[in-house]
């Protein structure tokens, strides 16, 4: 194990940050932070009046969480993520004045949201195939077809293009759209819809 090619890269990453290796950080983010997305989205939707900002806000929360974790892995994770979300909303209100203060007047009480039910990891594991299947069903038909050929049949982009008689760039678009839609369905609060109680 000691002679794997990853070692060099890891050492380089360690030099760059004071915390864990980049690989460890990425793994932590995927395991600990992404599963909170449904709860985070619910929190943002409840707390922020401008619904078209929600995805951008979530994205900014992720960026801030990731940057902070570079210095030190926060524990426990969930209150940390929600504190960042809350501070972000306060920032937005104060500095950008994008919404009247009253709209988020209950910000001070938002601490409760930290205990909002998030996705239970065991439930996620058990229901994973079911949710994946449900997510797949929700893709637009042509997009689903491309994703199925790529993911389940293991065809390359070129092979998909030949099989369906569509251009490479169209295949690329469908794949990218499908990948993002699956990420939303798997992590976002819409995932609740595809999950049995």
Partner 1 sequence: MNTTLPNAKEIRERAADWLQRRNFWNWSEADQAELDAWLAQSPSHRTAYLRVEAAWENTGRLSALRSIRPAPRPAPKNRRALPLLMGVAAAAAIAAVVGSSSISTWFGPEVKTYATKIGGHEILKLADGSEIELNTDTVLRTSIDAHERKVWLDRGEAYFQVKHDEKRPFIVLAGNDRVIDLGTKFTVRREPHRLQVAVMEGRVQLQSKTASGKEHSVALARGDVVVSAGGALPVVKKSETQLEKDIAWRSGELVFEGATLADAAREFNRYNTDKIVVAGTGVATLTIGGKFAKNDIAAFAELAQHVLGLRVERAGNIIVITR
Which residues in the 154-183 window bind partner 1 by CB under 8 A?
154, 156-158, 160, 163, 168, 171-172, 175-177, 179-180, 182-183
> Would you call 140 helix, strand, or coil by DSSP?
coil
Q: What mask, x for binding partner 1 by CB under 8 A, covers residues 22 to 61?
A: -xx-xxxxxxx-x------------------x-xxxxxx-
Q: Are 196 and 130 in contact (CB under 8 A)?
A: yes
Between CA 29 and CA 19 the distance in angstroms is: 14
Nearer to partner 1, 57 or 104 (CB): 57
Output the smallest distance, CB 111 to partner 1, in A.
20
Place of tokens 């707390």: 47
Q: What mask, x for binding partner 1 by CB under 8 A, covers residues 62 to 81?
A: xxxxxx-----x-xxx----
Output the smallest distance, CB 126 to partner 1, in A.
6
118 near partner 1, rule: CB under 8 A: no
132 near partner 1, rule: CB under 8 A: yes
Sign, CA dihedral 97-102-103-107, equals positive
Nearest to 37 by CA among 195, 194, 188: 188
Output the smallest distance, CB 44 to partner 1, in A.
11
Q: Which secondary-structure segment (H or E) carries 30?
A: none
Place of tokens 């922020």: 48
Half-sphere exposure of 9 (CA within 13 A, CB side): 6
* Residue choice 100, 123, 126, 162 for contact with partner 1 (CB under 8 A): 126
């Amino acid at each position: 194990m000691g002679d794997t090619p990853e070692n060099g890269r890891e050492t380089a990453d360690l030099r760059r940050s004071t915390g864990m290796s980049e690989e460890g950080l990425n793994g932590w983010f995927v395991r600990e932070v992404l599963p909170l997305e449904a709860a985070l989205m619910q929190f943002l939707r409840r707390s922020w009046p401008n619904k078209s900002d929600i995805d951008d806000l979530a994205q900014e929360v992720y960026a801030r969480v990731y940057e902070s974790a570079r210095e030190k892995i926060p524990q426990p994770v969930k209150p940390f993520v929600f504190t960042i979300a809350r501070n972000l909303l306060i920032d937005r209100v104060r500095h950008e004045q994008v919404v009247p203060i009253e709209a988020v007047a209950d910000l001070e009480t938002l601490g409760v949201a930290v205990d909002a039910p998030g996705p239970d990891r065991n439930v996620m594991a058990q229901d994973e195939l079911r949710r994946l299947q449900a997510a797949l069903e929700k893709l637009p038909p042509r997009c689903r077809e491309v994703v199925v050929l790529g993911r389940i049949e293991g065809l390359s982009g070129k092979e998909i293009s030949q099989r369906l008689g569509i251009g490479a760039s169209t295949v690329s678009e469908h794949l990218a759209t499908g990948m993002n839609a699956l990420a939303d369905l798997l992590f976002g609060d819409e995932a609740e819809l595809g999950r049995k109680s």
